[in-house]
Amino acid sequence: MTGVRKVALASAAGNAIELYDFLLYGTASALVFDKLFFPAFDSRIGVLLAFATFGAGFLARPLGGVVIGHFGDRLGRRAMLVITLSATGLATALIGVLPTYEQAGLAAPLLLVLLRVLQGFFMGGEQGGASLMAVEHAPPGQAGWYGSWIFLGSPLGMILANLSVVFATNVSGPDFLVWGWRVPFLLSLVLVAIGLYVRLSVSESPVFSADDAVRLPIADVLRNSWRTVLLGAGVNLGFNMFIFVLSAFALSYGRKQLGIPQSTLLWAVVIGCVGQAIAVPLFARLSDRIGRLPVMLGGAIFIGVFAYPLFWLLDARLVLVAMVLGLIGSGALFGPMPAYYAELFRTRVRYSGVSLSYQLGAVLGGGLSPFIATALLGYGTWAISLYLVVGAVVSAVCLVVIGSAHEAEPARGEPLAPVEA
């Protein structure tokens, strides 16, 4: 196996485990946390509160991106990725041993929120660093292809999270709400051990040099590239809105409003994520050939067009079709993202710039979308679809404004060309 493939696979494996930890929480929020941690409220309010704690993790992600990105730009990408993987896994495992509201009262949801915030903080520094390791090792003309391996962690992490819930449901049976729900969270310790073994085997990025480090990378980013940061956040905003309405809110909607069995919903997400795992590298490879902008713009347009058919399909109980089409189509926007964001910032501030821009989009889009969708449901699913259309328009406009000037890629080992908006 060549060096770049080893790095890309190691980063993808670590990112999949991190996203297993982070996305498992969303699945649990949709299915069980309202009963375990917010039973004193009626069903709809309990779901809203569960999704609010889900969003709390996103609120911490930009801060984690800034702090961990600072040290990643000054000390190196590899060391920070070991820290983020270990800390996120520990926080996830601790959720698995929390007392419930029945056992500890208000202390239970407060501890849940604290651990979710810690998950989000360390996740905020993970994705930027993992993607840079692959992109900065990539040969000329292949940054999209190898960078996309990192974002395979999203569908693979979702697959692992949903399969672990299916496994725990089958093993625990009627006791799932008693102890079975804890099993997927505790399994994180095993996955983290595997991830650390893989991640420690790779070398530091060939582009990074401690000698070129600036004293405060984030200050440099905010002074010289603040427009790029905000526009990049807008690109990710629409994608995150769509993907977490699809993968988190839709589970709650299907179970509570439509009466679709939990196992059916989980398997639909798993199969859809398999489709996305195939689509992500294919769209990324296409972006290496024809450019990031046309591929990603096509993905943003798809999200807007599919916003209404999504709920038509769900209401018709065609949940598998909805998940497969939604997850595959969104891969056009998602797949090229690692290379796209890396090409926006200079090497010496890239970890900070990528992390802040990407995570701002994640918190404004994904962190709030299940909560907002649940609140909008009172007006009808058309309101949720309109919300997704607005997000898609924001992503498309930001893509067009940034343009494609960042796509010129220099020879391997040199910094990717920056763009200052």
DSSP sequence for 86-134: HHHHHHHHHHTT---HHHHTTHHHHHHHHHHHHHHHHHHHHHHHHHHHH
pLDDT at 77 (0 to 100) = 76
42 within some domain? yes
**Average predicted confidence (pLDDT) for the chain:** 84
What does the alpha-carbon distance between residue 61 and residue 238 come to, in Å, rounded to a whole number?
17
Within-domain flag for 318: yes
Please give the C-alpha separations between residue 214 and each of 7, 41, 115, 244, 417, in angstroms, as whole numbers: 26, 50, 32, 36, 18
pLDDT in tens, 37-49: 888 776 677 777 7
| Pairwise pLDDT comparison (362 vs 14), residue with the higher score | 362
- Per-residue pLDDT at 227 exceeds 60: yes
Total count of domains within the chain:
1
Residue 421 domain-assigned (yes or no): no
pLDDT of residue 213: 64
pLDDT at 416 exceeding the cut of 60: no
pLDDT at 211: 52
Asked if residue 417 belongs to a domain, the reply is no
What gap in Å lies between CA 285 and CA 157, rounded to an integer?
21
For residue 96, what is the domain's CATH number?
1.20.1250.20
pLDDT of residue 205: 66
Asked if residue 151 lies in contact with residue 334, where contact means CB atoms within 8 angstroms, the answer is yes
Greater confidence (417 vs 273) lies with 273
Over 80: is that where the pLDDT of 275 sits? yes
Q: Structural domain of residue 258, as residue ranges?
A: 3-205+214-407
pLDDT at 210: 53
In a domain, 414, yes or no: no
Look at residue 403 and tell me if it is in a domain: yes
pTM to 2 decimals?
0.79
pLDDT for position 415? 44
Averaged pLDDT, 337-357:
87
In a domain, 416, yes or no: no
Cα 235 from Cα 421, distance rounded (Å): 14
Which of 42-46, 378-382, 391-395 has the weakest average pLDDT? 42-46
Contact 218, 356 (CB under 8 A): yes
| Positive/negative CA dihedral, 14, 17, 21, 23 | positive
**How far is it, in rounded angstroms, from Cα 120 to Cα 358?**
13
Element (H, E) at 3: helix 3-31
In a domain, 299, yes or no: yes
- Residues 108-144 have pLDDT tens digits of 889 988 998 898 898 888 777 777 877 877 888 888 8
